[in-house]
């Protein structure tokens, strides 16, 4: 399993791969492929739990999913995405919530949707031995303020992201997710900081890339414009279910090989 130092050493040398997972089966599949980082994203809210956004995801739901992923992954670094209002309001509570993901659920690190309010928290978490990944640009937990549109398209906001990247690096963040920002801004952030940058809709100059699992394999009905579907799992699942229904309705399933009989039970009635 790579440590955060191993990942930092990859910056600028070898592309870092990160995918989300939300259960042990998916984590095992993703882990076997050799992905570097598995993010248990709060994207589970709209990816697998049926919500319109990430805000309803609870700390207990995240903890349950983090534990499942940690049990399914042997080699990848498991990062717990801290859900809305599980951090930031009270430092002590934030630390307890983040620590729970490592101490009780088996994560190796946490991720915070970041801003000026998370700089001191990142420093404190790092001091306590909780590796922390920062996240700038489009932060879905701020959907009611920003929407899901591209961020940092103006100079002032771009400069703010650059400044926050430096501040979180200085605070001890081991890596930085950059979401849905101009590629030339992401390139400048990557050049400015020494910690790895992991892009999602931020161009190809970042040190790594992350996407949501359901988008990558083609399970999502809709994907964001910066995602790519590398398979059609949704179609394959639908075909398999159709075949199952046809087999049951036709009497083909179950067959003799799918059950057994006991002679001594023939005369119960």
Is 28 marked as a binding-site residue?
no
C-alpha radius of gyration, the chain, whole number: 22
> Which residues fall within 8 angstroms of residue 71, CB to CB, at 6 or more apart?
24, 27, 106
Exposure letters 111-148 (e unless 16+ CB within 10 A, then b): bbbbbeebbebbbbbbeeebbbbbbbbbbbbeeeeeee
Residue 97 CA to residue 76 CA, distance in Å, equals: 22
213-222 long-range contacts (CB < 8 A, ≥24 apart) are 213/19, 213/20, 213/21, 213/22, 213/26, 213/30, 213/47, 214/47, 214/48, 216/19, 220/47
Is 103 marked as a binding-site residue?
no
Residue 137 CA to residue 239 CA, distance in Å, equals: 38
Is 53 marked as a binding-site residue?
no
Is 42 marked as a binding-site residue?
yes
Count of beta carbons in the 10 Å neighbourhood of residue 257: 6
Residue 252 CA to residue 254 CA, distance in Å, equals: 6
Contact 122, 132 (CB under 8 A): yes
Is 257 marked as a binding-site residue?
no
| Selected catalytic residue, list 179, 221, 228, 262 | 179
* E strand or H helix at 200: strand 197-200
- CA-wise closest residue to 123 among 56, 173, 63: 173
Q: Is 179 a catalytic residue?
A: yes
Residue 169 CA to residue 60 CA, distance in Å, equals: 29
Binding residue ranges for 3-methyl-2-oxobutanoate? 42-43, 81, 111
Numbered residues of the known binding site: 42-43, 81, 111, 113
Q: Which residues are catalytic?
A: 179
Q: Which residues are annotated as a binding site for Mg(2+)?
A: 42, 81, 113
């Amino acid at each position: 399993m790579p440590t955060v130092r191993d990942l930092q050493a990859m910056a600028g040398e070898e592309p870092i791969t990160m995918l989300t997972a939300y259960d042990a089966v998916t984590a095992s599949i993703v882990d076997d492929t050799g992905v570097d980082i598995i993010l248990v994203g709060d994207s589970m809210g709209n990816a697998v739990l049926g919500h319109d956004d990430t805000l309803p995801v609870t700390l207990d739901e995240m903890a349950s999913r983090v534990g499942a992923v940690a049990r399914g992954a042997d080699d990848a670094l498991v990062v717990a995405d801290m859900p809305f209002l599980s951090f930031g309001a009270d430092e002590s509570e934030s630390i307890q919530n983040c620590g729970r993901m490592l101490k009780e659920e088996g994560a190796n690190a946490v991720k915070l949707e970041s801003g000026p309010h998370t700089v001191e928290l990142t420093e404190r978490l790092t001091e306590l031995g909780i590796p922390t990944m920062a996240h700038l640009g489009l932060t879905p937990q701020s959907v009611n303020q920003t929407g899901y549109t591209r961020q940092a398209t103006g100079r002032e906001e771009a400069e703010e992201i650059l400044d926050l990247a430096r501040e979180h690096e200085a605070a001890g963040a081991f890596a930085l997710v950059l979401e849905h920002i101009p590629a030339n801004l992401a390139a400048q952030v990557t050049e400015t900081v020494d910690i790895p940058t992991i892009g999602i809709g931020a161009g190809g100059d970042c040190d790594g890339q992350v996407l949501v699992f359901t988008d990558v394999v083609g399970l999502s009905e809709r994907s964001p414009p910066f995602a790519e579907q590398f398979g059609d799992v949704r179609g394959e699942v639908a075909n398999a279910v159709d075949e199952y229904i046809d087999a049951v309705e036709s009497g083909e399933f179950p067959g003799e090989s799918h059950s057994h009989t006991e002679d001594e039970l023939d005369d119960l009635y």
